[in-house]
Structures are given as C-alpha cells and as structure tokens.
Amino acid sequence: MSGSDPDPVMVVLTTVPSTDVAERIGSTLVEERLAACATVVEGVTSIYRWNGEIEREREVLMVLKTTSSAAERLKLRLVELHPYDVPEALAMEPTGGHQPYLDWVRAEVRGDG
C-alpha cells in the first residue's frame, strides 16, 4: 500500500478542453518531473453549473500520477498552464496499488528514473 511509504503516490484529476491541451500540459508536467505519468482520456462529457447556467461540455480527462511531496507544486503549475478560469485539480491518495508501479512513480518524480 502507498500509505506505508513516507511519500505516498497521489492521483490528480483535471479536465481540459482538448487532446492538444492535455498533451501539452501532460508533457510539461512530466518533463518538469511534477508527474511521472499523464494519462489522457478522450470523450468525456462534463455537466456543471457555471454563472447560473447548466453547461454541458465535451472535455478530455487527465489522470496525473505524482507523489504527496510534489502534489502541491503540480497543482500550482497545472493552474498556471490550464486555460480555464477555475481548473479542476483534485488530488487523491490511492489506498493500494502495484508496488513496482508505485516505486516507479516515486523514482520518476524524484528524478531517479
């Protein structure tokens, strides 16, 4: 489990307007070692209230894998790179995972990979 490690792996979710934007942001976050991996999931629909109106938008989901120690820096950088006024940035700690994968995420974010 990731909870036993002093630097737990975190998953950060965000949505963006297009695959191009997702790939640009994901590449930057991986290059800067704020994320070990950015998974781009096309074809999601978000339904939400914005400025008093119900909106429905096709978006692209990004699943970013990072560590607890890097998560706040990742969120700050994500907000800088993101085109939305109020970008989604939800960080969660998985309750388990495949230990070699968790170790790989930590090594990539630390720069040991």
Q: Which domain holds residue 19?
A: 2-109
Q: What is the pLDDT of residues 12-34, one digit of tens each?
A: 999 999 999 999 999 999 999 99
* Residue-level pLDDT at 2: 42
CA pair distance 60, 16, nearest whole angstrom: 5
Q: What is the pLDDT of residues 34-48, one digit of tens each?
A: 999 999 999 999 999
Cβ neighbors of 2 (< 8 A, separation 6 or more) are: 8, 9, 93, 94, 95, 96, 97, 102
Q: For the chain, what is the domain count?
A: 1
The CATH number covering residue 25 comes to 3.30.70.120
Cβ neighbors of 4 (< 8 A, separation 6 or more) are: none
Has residue 80 got a pLDDT over 50? yes
How far does Cα 32 stand from its chain's mean position? 13
Has residue 4 got a pLDDT over 60? no
Q: Look at residues 40, 23, 39, 33 and name the one whose alpha carbon lies nearest to residue 108.
A: 33
* Residue-level pLDDT at 6: 81
Question: How large is the average pLDDT for residues 40-59?
Answer: 97
